[in-house]
Amino acid sequence: MEIRETPISDVYEIYPKIFKDPRGYFLESYREDLFEAHGMNTKWVQDNQSYSTAGIVRGLHFQSGHHAQAKLVRVISGKVLDVCVDLRKNSPTFGKAHTVVLDESLQNMLYVPTGFAHGFAVWDDAVFTYKCSNLYHKESEGGIIWNDKQLNIDWGVDDPLLSEKDQNWPDLKKFQEISRGGL
């Protein structure tokens, strides 16, 4: 398993070693010792899975306060552009986005720590799965509008399909005002 640092501290791209043979493939999708060696000392308490067709954008979501979640995300099938945005108060990379293509052929993953908004654009129909460090808590849910001009994220999807909720999140500037500077 290769764990790569990104330009945003505490966010990691993970590339498992895939063992292929005529029967199919095998990979380790999680190894506590390797994650802990890179400072990812996360206790996982919930696994989630979704299916989305190409052209869907989900996010940018977060949970705040005591219900904040770290996430370990990947696709089982398909391809997505995965996005995380640093919302940590006083972080030198506050408001910066990191993107990576999660692809079933690579089975790569992204580790997103607490204090980040997260979302993804579906490029090829995808089964998306993620581990969470905290249980979902509706009252702690928040988000940033997917097409925020300040973030200027190229989602790689023309005319995306979004939930009503994802069309109505505040932009980053308004979030800063509401949250008094960040998560």
Dist CA 166 CA 11 (whole Å): 23
Dist CA 116 CA 59 (whole Å): 11
Catalytic residue among 61, 98, 111, 118: 61
Catalytic residue among 66, 98, 130, 136: 130
Is 15 annotated in the active site?
no
Pairing of strands 141-143, 57-63: antiparallel
Is 98 annotated in the active site?
no
Kindly tell me the burial class for residue 87, based on how many C-beta atoms sit within 10 Å of its own C-beta (0-12, 13-18, 19 or more): buried
Active site residues: 61, 130
